[in-house]
Amino acid sequence: MRLSVIGCGYVGLVTGACLAEAGHEVVCTDIDRDRIAKLQAGGVPIYEEHLEQILTSARKTGHISYTADAAEAIRAGEAIFICVGTPPKESGEADLSAIDYVARQIAAEARTPKLVIEKSTVPARTGLELSRALSAYSRNSNVKFRVASNPEFLREGTAVADFFHPDRIVVGVEDPSSAEELRQIYRPILEKKFHCPVHNGTCPPGQKAEFLVTTISSAELIKHASNSFLALKISYANVVADLCEKIGANVEEVTHAMGLDPRIGGQFLKAGLGYGGFCFPKDVQAFIYLAAKVGVDFDILKAAERVNKQRIEHFFEKVHKALWVVKGKRIAVLGLAFKANTDDIRFAPALEVVKNLIGEGAIVHVTDPEAMPRTKAVFPQLHYHEDPYDALRDADAALICTEWNPFRKLDWQRAGSSMARKLVIDGRNLYAPQDMKKLGFEYYSFGRE
């Protein structure tokens, strides 16, 4: 099919690339002309595992193209995926101005019928407003629009694998024909009939994704409900960790045993600096706002949000306990991205840590496998190191802020020999306390004191 993708951020670029790799003809556009120029030149503006590989493959087959002309992209596709940002306002409400802008563009520029698909995360009832906007701004009464919701469940760092091997594909529609069109779009993935870059060829046998057809409002709600529940699990684990510290228990032993119960599951029961990134914080805020707007008090989510905001404060209690005075100390920060395997620093806990260190007068040396270029634009005054051992040299303390595998594998005997003080404050519980103490380190983590 001929498909258009509006928005070439994390969601849009992965969506466009994967649909092209699955065999569709995809045209991508973005309001950022520099981003489009980079893509046209063969560059990749974000880091995501396997993304560069499939963009290169799709470019060779001619299945993907880019244009800064939104009208061209709108006219090209039989179906249009809207993948623009919906950032939070100060109130927590999702800012839907970009969705509205795109709707007006589509209405003005379309010359043939279109299936318009919400891929961006939006609050429930957005589809109704999108339909109204398309109808109100249409210049051609003969051009009909159908609206659908197709929320994404992509995890940054594994987004390509998640797209090609989903556990479910949710489509919210108004009519059977829209559901069938979306089924055709996803047929190669549902039937595993595509070249899988994650497995270098044919997809391994396994459980097929469930194709769920719902109302548009249900599909919109599913995304917010899912992300908010995962955020809730993280905050729950962090409160359990605080309790473990008070009574001398080990949070990893507790959450491991909890996770063995299939009703609970072990994923996201991880204590540490808390959740970050662009999705969880804004989706929790938007869900709370939506609930309040219709008269539902979502106290449990408010508590989860409050717990998450307190993680940095709790982390710095450990920093002050260990260091006493931060001013003038050389501090190595390992990890800047909000999670491993991405260069995304939006709402990253590590950046809050850095900001606090700067505010207290520390000399901050940082390292991250992918996120340093983005961080330099925000904190040019930091000392940046490609090699983590260089960042650790002469450090009074090492703060672990992102769970990158290269950090898991560090030779701490080597690192400790060059540090001014053998002190590690681990915000991600990467290391076994007994192993670090055997190496002569003062070691602090969450819920395992």
pLDDT, one tens digit per residue, over 86-116 is: 998 989 899 999 999 999 999 999 999 999 9
CA atoms within 13 A on the CB side of 398: 32
Query: What pLDDT is recorded for position 194?
Result: 74
pTM over the 0.75 mark? yes
Convert the pLDDT of each residue in 109-134 to its tens digit.
999 999 999 999 898 889 999 999 99
Residue linked to tokens 């429930």: 124
| Residue 206 predicted with pLDDT over 70 | no
CA dihedral 386, 392, 394, 399 (to 10 degrees): 130
> Band of the pLDDT at 205, cuts 50, 70, 90?
low
| Mean pLDDT, range 42-46, rounded to an integer | 94
Pairing mode, strands 64-67 and 145-149: unpaired
2-214 CATH: 3.40.50.720
Question: Region 349-361: what's the mean pLDDT?
Answer: 97
Q: What is the pLDDT of residue 235?
A: 97
The mean pLDDT of 152-171, rounded to a whole number, is 94
Q: How far apart are CA 89 and CA 375, in angstroms?
A: 23
Residue 186 pLDDT: 97
Rounded Cα distance, 100 and 97, in Å: 5
334 SS3 class = strand
> According to the model, what pLDDT value does residue 201 have?
65
Q: For residue 371, is pLDDT > 90?
A: yes
**Cα three-residue angle 64-67-70, rounded to 5 degrees:** 120
Residue-level pLDDT at 252: 97
Topology agreement, domain 2-214 and domain 311-444: yes
Closest CA to 285 of 41, 60, 91: 91
Q: Is 84 helix (H, G, I), strand (E, B) or coil?
A: coil
- Fold of domain 224-308: N-(1-d-carboxylethyl)-l-norvaline Dehydrogenase; domain 2 (1.10.1040)
pLDDT value of position 204 = 64
For the question of residue 244 being annotated catalytic, the response is no
Closest CA to 392 of 426, 420, 368: 420
Which contacts (CB < 8 Å, 24+ apart) does range 205-208 have? Answer: 206/165, 207/167
Q: How far is CA 419 from CA 152, 397, 410, 413, in A?
A: 44, 8, 14, 10
Tokens of 360: 């207290």
Where are the chain's structural domains?
2-214, 224-308, 311-444
pLDDT > 70? residue 57:
yes
Write the CA distances from 373 to 174, 263, 355, 407, integer angstroms: 44, 41, 17, 19
The type of residue at 54 is I
Tens of pLDDT, residues 6-21: 999 999 999 999 999 9
pLDDT band at 139 (very low <50, low <70, confident <90, very high): confident
CATH code for 311-444? 3.40.50.720
Percent residues over pLDDT 70 in the chain: 98
pLDDT band at residue 193 under the 50/70/90 scheme: confident
At residue 2, the pLDDT reads 97
Q: Which of 18, 28, 279, 401 is catalytic?
A: 279
* pLDDT, mean over the chain: 95
Residues in the chain: 449
